Every structure is written in structure tokens, then in C-alpha cells.
Amino acid sequence: MFNKVILIGRLGQNAEAKTAQNNKEYVVLNIATQESWKNDKGDYETRTEWHRVFAWRNLSKFAKTLQKGQLVTLEGILRYREGDEVKGTTFKHRIAEVHATSLKRLSKVEAADDPTDGADDE
């Protein structure tokens, strides 16, 4: 069996560092990917998909340096969790999340950014 996700996309906002209940630090990234195609009339259409990505352990140190608009590539695994409340309304639903195992910055590094590369975290 195999569970692998590969994404290349742009950050929609700066990386958000958080602390789990077990006091382990992690980073949440919102990454946008886009696809384009020609419709029946010959016009181009595009669709943007947003992906919620989690970076744990050593990978979180690198992920904290990422900023809105930067192009990144990542590999990870797809995980689902059950949710039961959205904006005060209770209902059961599944939430898809990507847990990164490697992360690299593809866009130019600004002077204030950490120049290190996000090596594999396995």
C-alpha cells in the first residue's frame, strides 16, 4: 500500500507556528495549486485548490521561514480526521490534511529569509 502526495504551489500566507498538546512545535502552511484547461468554447479556465499542510519536528524549523507568495515543493502523506463543528453548526465531516515529509523552497530567497533547505525529515 502507498500514500504519497507531491505538491508544487505558492503559500497563501506566512507560515503559522503552533504548539501541540504534547508541547511539540509544528507549522501550518496553506498552499495553493492551480490548473488550467480549455473549455468547449476554446477559452481558458483555471481552478485554484487550497491545501492545508503540516510540518513537524525538524521540518518545522525550515517551514517557519516561509513567507506568503513563495513557491515551494513538498512531499508528504494524506491524512483524514473527523470534524463535527463548523462555525457553531454541528455535523459530521472529514477533513483532508497533508503531513509533509520533505519541503523545499523554489522561489528566490529574500535576504531576511533563512537560506537553509528543508531536507527530508524522516
113 falls within a domain = no
112 falls within a domain = no
User: What does the pLDDT read at residue 114?
Assistant: 45
Which positions ≥6 away from 31 have C-beta within 8 Å? 7, 9, 10, 11, 12, 50, 51, 53, 72, 74
Regarding predicted confidence, which is higher, 83 or 36? 36
User: What does the pLDDT read at residue 120?
Assistant: 46
pLDDT tens, residue by residue, 18-49: 998 898 999 999 999 999 999 999 999 999 99
55 falls within a domain = yes
23 falls within a domain = yes
What does pTM read for this prediction? 0.77
Report the domain count for the chain. 1
Average pLDDT, whole number, for the chain? 87
48 falls within a domain = yes
Q: For residue 10, what are the domain limits?
A: 5-36+44-105
Percent of the chain topping pLDDT 70: 87
Distance CA(24)–CA(18), nearest Å, equals 8
Residue 96: give its domain's CATH number: 2.40.50.140
Instruction: Give alpha helix (H) positions in the chain.
Output: 57-63
Please tell me whether residue 57 adopts helix, strand or coil conformation.
Answer: helix
